[in-house]
Structure 1
C-alpha cells in the first residue's frame, strides 16, 4: 500500500503515542498510520458519514516550516488536478493541521504495491504482462505532457501496481512533487536550481545530469529504464554509488535487454533501447508515438523493417561496445567478463531481423570499430549491486562533479598501460606505461649517428 513517496514496506510502526490517531481531519477520522517516509507520514482515514477510505499524507514536523518542502506538497496537489487522468492518483484535499500547522493532502487510498516492491517478487516479467502496464503509464504521461507537465522523477517507486476488483492489475503514477509545468504542451522547463541535480540516478536522463532543459523526452527516458528493469530484473546502469551510475550513463549505452533475456522480442528490445538513447532527439518524439509503437509490438504487427543503412547492431559488454562483426568474439568477451559476482548476460542470436528502433542506438561516435588485438585494456567488469543502493528518492549533486568524474575516467583510459607481447615461449608479458622516452632516445641516437658521420667526413679531408 502506498501513496506518493511514502511506502509501507512491512515495517512495525509504533502508533500508540501518535496524537493524530483518532482525530478528525476534514471529516475523515484518522484510523491508522500506514506508511512513513523521509519527509512525511501517511495515514488511513475514513469519512465519518459515507465511510469512504482515503489516504492522508502529512508533512513531518521537521519540514513543516520549510518553504521548499511545503511548496512541493502544494505543487503535487495542483499538478495532479491539472492533469486529471485515471492512471494518476487523485488528490482532492489540502490543508494544515490546527495545532502543529503541518500541511497535509487527502488522496486516493490505493490497494496494491509500488512497482519497486512488486518487481522484487515478479521480475523479470513476461512481455504480455509488461506491455499493458507500460501502455497505461504512457497514457498518463501523454495527458501530463498535453498540459505541459513533466514529472522529472519517474521510477518504479513512483509507479503503483493497483489490484483491481476484477483481479486485474493497473498502474497509478504518484508523487508529482518534483514535477514542473511548461508554458505550453510539449514545452521544456529549466532546472529548478542551477548547479544541483534533482531526481533518481538510475532513471535520470543524461540531460538532467548535465543540468540542461528537460522536455517530455526526459520522462520517456525514465520509462525506458522502468521497462528495462521490468523485463530483465536489472537496471540499465549498475554501480556501487550514485556518482558512478551517472558517470556510466554519460559514457555508455546500457547492455541490451536481450542479452539478459534472449527470448525477448527484438522489436521490444529495440523499443526500450530507443527510449534509453543518450541524445533526446534520437528518442521517439512523444508518449503517444511510443505508445503506438508499443501497441504494434504487443499486437504482433511489427513487420521486421530493415536496419538503417550503415547501422550495425553492437554488443554492449561489461567493459565496452563490440560491433557485431564477429559474434564469436562477442560471446568470448561476454563469457570472460561475466565470471565475477555480477550476472552473465546471455548471447543473442542473429537469425532475426533488426528492429527499426534498435538501429537508432547502435552506432555512436564513441563506438570505434577496431581489431581486438589493438584494443587497450578496459576497466574491470561492472558488478551487479542491489538497486536500493542507488535508488535514493532524490539526490542533489553538483553537475561539475559528474562531469569531472567522466573526464577523470576518460583520462585514465587514455593513460591505460599497454601490454607488450613477448614471443619467447615461457616468458611472461611485461606491462609498461606508454611513454615518449623511447622516441626521444631513438631521435637522440639518430642525431649522434649523424654527427659522428659528419666528423668522419671532415677527418677524411
Structure 2
C-alpha cells in the first residue's frame, strides 16, 4: 500500500514541489464508503494530483487489497476529469513491471464519483528514502535508475511521455529479492507523442504542469518538447539520489537557472562521492541543457546504464585539484 507521510512545512520550498493546478485538498472524506458495490475504502493514504485522494481499499467479495484514487466531486471540472482519465488510460496501456498496474477506471458511478483502482504497493517513495537514507550508494542509484529507465522505454515505445519523473513518483517496494524494486507512479501530467516517442516524434507544448526542478528549459518554457524531457528528469533524479543536491543551482523554485556552462559536476556537488567515472558521464549527459546533447532515447540511456552494471567498475571518483583551483602536489 502507499505509505502516508506527514506534511512537511518545508515541502513547498523544496525542488520536489510541483507546479500544477492540482494541489487542492478533498472537501469530503469517503473513508468507509463502498464504491461501485465492490471497493470498501478503509483508510485515507494521501493526496494525488487534480484534487484526488488516495485510499487503501478492499474488494468486498474477494477481499483483495487495492489502492483507490478518487476525484473529489467538488473539485472535478471537465478538464480535471479528462486529465484523470488520461492518467489511468496511459498507465493501463503500458506493459512494464516497473509501472504501477491500473486495474479499473470508473468514469462515473451511481454517486457520480470518478476513480481508478490500482495495485496496492507496500513500501515508500524515493523522496522518503532520500530523506532518511540519502545520499544513496552509487550501486543503488544505478539499479534504481536502470529500472526507471526500463519503465520509460516501455512508455515511450507507446508514445507516452511521463513529464513528471521525480523521487515522489518512484515507489520502492520489496520484490524479486530486492528492497529497491521500483514502480513508476502518477501519469497525471503525461502527454502523448502520437506514436512511438523517437527523436523525430511530435513535439508537445502547452501549460507548464509538473515539477520545475526536474524540468529542462524547453519544458519550463511551455514547449515544444518531446520524450527527452523524461531523460532529463531521470538524470536529475539520479544526481539527487547520489548527492542530495540538484545539478543546476540558482534561479527560483519555479524557474531553475540553466547556465550555458552546463550542470554542476558531481565531484563539485559532492566531493566525497564514490562512483565510476562512466556513471557521472551518463548522468551529466542526461541533464544537458540542450536536448540534442542528451541521450536521444530512453533505450540509448538504458544501454549506457546496463554497460556500467556489466563492467562493475568500482573506484572512488578522484578530486581534480585544478578543477578546485588548487596547485597539484609536488611529486
| Aligned residues of 1:32 and 1:43 also touching (Cα < 8 A) | yes
Instruction: Give the C-alpha shift of residue 222 in structure 1.
Output: 0.4
Give the Cα separation in 2 of the matches to 1:167 and 1:236: 28
Greater mean alpha carbon deviation, residues 211-220 or residues 114-123 = 211-220
Q: 2:55 matched to 1:43?
A: yes
Structure 1 residue 328 displacement after superposition:
7.0
RMSD, matched Cα: 2.7
The verdict on how the C-alpha distance between 1:209 and 1:18 changes in structure 2, with shifts beyond 3 A counting, is closer
2:4 matched to 1:8?
A: yes
Contact 1:276 1:283 (8 Å CA) reproduced:
yes
The equivalent residue for 1:173 is 184
Shift of 1:173: 0.7
1:200 counterpart = 2:214: no
Q: How does 1:286-365 map to 2 (within 5 A)?
A: 286-300=297-311, 327=322, 330-331=325-326
* Counterpart-to-counterpart distance in 2, 1:328 and 1:228: 19
Q: Which is helix-richer, 1 or 2? A: 1
Query: Following the alignment from structure 2 to structure 1, what is the Cα–Cα distance between the partners of residues 323 and 217?
Result: 32
In 1, the alpha carbon distance for the partners of 2:255 and 2:297 equals 29
The alpha carbon displacement at 1:37 in A equals 4.4
Q: Is residue 158–residue 174 contact of structure 1 (8 Å, CA) maintained in 2?
A: yes
Paired position in structure 1 for 2:25:
none
Q: Is the 8 A contact 1:180 1:189 kept in 2?
A: no
Contact 2:48 2:69 in 1 (8 A): no
Match of 2:233 in 1: 222
CA shift in 2, pair 1:175/1:243, >3 Å:
closer
Report the TM-score when normalising by structure 1: 0.60
Aligned pairs (5 A) from 1:9-24: 9-10=5-6, 18-24=29-35
Q: Structure 2: how far apart are the matches of 1:269 and 1:106? A: 39
Contact kept, 8 Å, 1:20 with 1:30, in 2: the verdict is yes
Is 1:189 the counterpart of 2:203? The answer is: yes
Q: Which residue of 1 aligns with 2:295?
A: 284
Alignment match, 2:75: 63
Deviates more, 1:221-230 or 1:43-52: 43-52
Query: Offset at 1:189?
Result: 3.1
Q: For 1:51-90, what aligned pairs fall within 5 Å after superposition?
A: 51-64=63-76, 66-90=77-101
> CA offsets, 1:143-170, max 9 Å, x none?
1111111111111111111223745321
Q: Answer whether contact 2:220 2:255 (CA < 8 A) is retained.
A: no
Per-residue deviation at 1:59? Answer: 1.0
Distance 2:282 2:177 in 1: 30
Q: Residues 151 and 85 of structure 1: is their aligned pair in 2 closer, same or farther, counting only changes over 3 Å?
A: same
User: How many pairs were matched up?
Assistant: 298
TM-score, normalised with respect to structure 2: 0.82
Kept in 1: contact 2:263–2:288 (CA 8 A): no
Tell me the CA shift for residue 98 of structure 1.
Answer: 2.6
Paired position in structure 1 for 2:258? 249
Q: 1:25 to 1:164 in 2, by over 3 A?
A: farther
The alpha-carbon deviation at position 256 of structure 1 amounts to 0.9
Task: Say if 2:122 is the partner of 1:108.
Answer: no
Matches of 1:189 and 1:258, distance apart in 2: 34
User: Is it true that 1:159 corresponds to 2:170 in the alignment?
Assistant: yes
Name the SS for the 2:302 alignment partner.
helix
Q: Could you tell me how far apart the structure 1 residues matched to 2:309 and 2:237 are?
A: 17
Q: Where does structure 2 lack aligned partners over 5 or more consecutive residues?
A: 8-27, 314-318
Residue deviations 1:38-89, cap 9 Å, x none? 611111111122221001111123322x111111110011111221211101
Q: Say which structure, 1 or 2, has more relative contact order (CA 8 Å, 6+ apart).
A: 2
Q: CA deviation at 1:243?
A: 3.9
Tell me how far apart the structure 2 counterparts of residues 26 and 152 of structure 1 sit (CA, whole Å): 34
CA contact (8 A) 2:126 2:171 kept: yes
Moved over 4 A (4+): none
Q: Distance in 1 between matches of 2:324 and 2:150?
A: 42
SS at match of 1:62: coil
**Conserved? CA contact 1:188–1:213, under 8 Å:** no
SS at match of 2:57: strand
- Higher-Rg structure is 1
- 1:206·1:250 contact (CA, 8 Å) conserved in 2? no
**Displacement of 1:295:** 1.5
Give distance in 2, aligned partners of 1:19 and 1:161.
Answer: 27
Quote the residue 2:12 is aligned against: none
SS for the counterpart of 1:9 is: coil
How many Å separate the matches in 2 of 1:267 and 1:258? 13
